[in-house]
Amino acid sequence: MAIGKRLRGAMASTGLVLGMGVGLGMGVGLGMGFGMGLGLPISPGQALELRGATYFTKPPWSVDLISYQTYTYQTRPEYFFRVTLDPAAGAPLGGLTISQTRGVDRNFAYSVDRTTAFLGGTPRREGPKIPVQASFDQASRTFTIRFPEPVQPGNTVTVVLRPWTNPGLSDTYLFAVNAFPAGPNPSPSPLGYGTLRIYNFGDLN
């Protein structure tokens, strides 16, 4: 079965490069842990279930990362992760994981309780806010995002992460993003990498 194909991620508008997501076959265990740990809501009759796991029938395939604050140590920046669900996705979006996989500063802190999400709109013209639950693991630099009211197919959702400051070291920072359908033992769909370029003041002069 060709479930394990690799998917290409679209990159952020802050100077982006293309990356490849991890294979779905490698992500089944992660999906089971994600679903069991967070108790994702089940949407009967919508999700594709196979061998006790839930899959998207037409998964999202890319993520856009947008930030307007791209210098070291800028305070209260906002990182907008934007995901669009195909109308034929087959299951609502139950959650995301967002992991920093590259970038020399691995200690800059987030204000996790200020994480928000909205439907539609743009970063500077946000759509209606939706409930979101977020946790952050410092050791793996991974956010786990859960939507108590799953995002229905055909919608675009933007998750806003809010560090206290930008990284203190200039570099290209990569964030691997996986999407999880709402349902039992959700199997992750890798969306690729969002790219954030952080500059020192004066780098562009």
**Sheet (strand 171-181) strand order:** 133-137, 142-151, 93-102, 171-181, 189-198
| Triad 110, 115, 117: Cα angle to 5° | 150
- Record the tokens describing residue 73, joined without a space: 């140590």
Length of the chain: 205
CA-to-CA distance for 9 and 6, rounded, in angstroms?
Answer: 10
Residue 91 has pLDDT above 80, yes or no: yes
Q: What pLDDT was estimated at residue 156?
A: 97
The average pLDDT across 176-188 equals 96
Nearest Cα residue to 59 out of 133, 7, 113, 103: 7
Determine the straight-line distance between the first and last CA of the chain, rounded to whole angstroms: 52
Q: Read off the pLDDT of each residue in 12-37 and give the average, rounded to a whole number.
A: 38
- What is the pTM assigned to this prediction? 0.77
Residue 30 has pLDDT above 80, yes or no: no
In terms of pLDDT, which residue wins out, 161 or 19? 161
At 201, the pLDDT band (50, 70, 90 cuts) reads: confident
Which has the higher per-residue pLDDT, 138 or 27?
138
| Cα–chain center distance at 164 | 19
Predicted pLDDT of residue 20: 33
Half-sphere exposure of 38 (CA within 13 A, CB side): 31
Confidence of residue 47 (pLDDT cuts 50, 70, 90): low
Residue whose tokens read 């796991």: 53
Q: Which helix (H) or strand (E) holds 38?
A: helix 24-38
**Tokens representing residue 168 in the block:** 């203190």
Backbone φ/ψ region at 204: left (φ over 0), alpha (ψ -120 to 50), beta: alpha
- Tell whether the model's pLDDT for residue 18 goes beyond 80: no
* pLDDT level of residue 51 (50, 70, 90 thresholds): low
- Measuring CA to CA, how many Å separate 186 from each of 29, 79, 138? 9, 25, 24
